[in-house]
Structure 1
Amino acid sequence: MGWIYLILAGLAEMGFVSLLKQTQGFSNPLATGGFLGCALLSFWLLTKATASIPVAVAYPVWVGLGAVGALLVGTLLHGEPMTPTKLLFSVLLIGSIVGLKQAA
């Protein structure tokens, strides 16, 4: 169950990352509320995940999911360029996440 919590925490992190730009420095109340809701949900799910997954594994996986999610959000929603270098390091990051899961 811990891995399900961790994946959901990563998805919630992608939610707050996707809303970060729309908060406009926390001056947009709706986007700010969504950002805060996703952030709280993400942290809560992360704490649930660490009940059965070591923090030394759960936290880097959570950060990695958020980093890849931020790259995807930036590329797909905000028109940021996807370069071969970004793609390469994203694949390496995903490989690291899979490796950490196998090592857990």
Structure 2
Amino acid sequence: MFVWVAYDISDNNLRTRIADHCKDLGLVRFQKSIFLGESDRATLQMLASLIRREMEEDASGEEDSVAIGTLCGSCQKSLITLGKPVDGSKYRRRPFVIIG
């Protein structure tokens, strides 16, 4: 499924940790506070848990927020973007091989 994460976080350290979690789980930065990518339900739940824990441990941001959502195939096709176009292939999972 196609996933998006958007956040408004005032603390630089917390914001960096959340961005790192998004990258670690294969999401790609679309804007400074928006990540897109493909994920499965289990990985999405893990990301939500990681972000929830980070936010609970950082008591400085009661006004901070994170939104995580999914887009179905038809929703992706009907997405309207202005300015920078959304190249869906950039956000698709890339196959990988573990060597070791």
Structure 1 length as normaliser, TM-score? 0.34
* Greater RCO (Cα-Cα under 8 Å, separation 6 or more): 2
TM norm structure 2: 0.35
Higher percent of residues as strand: 2
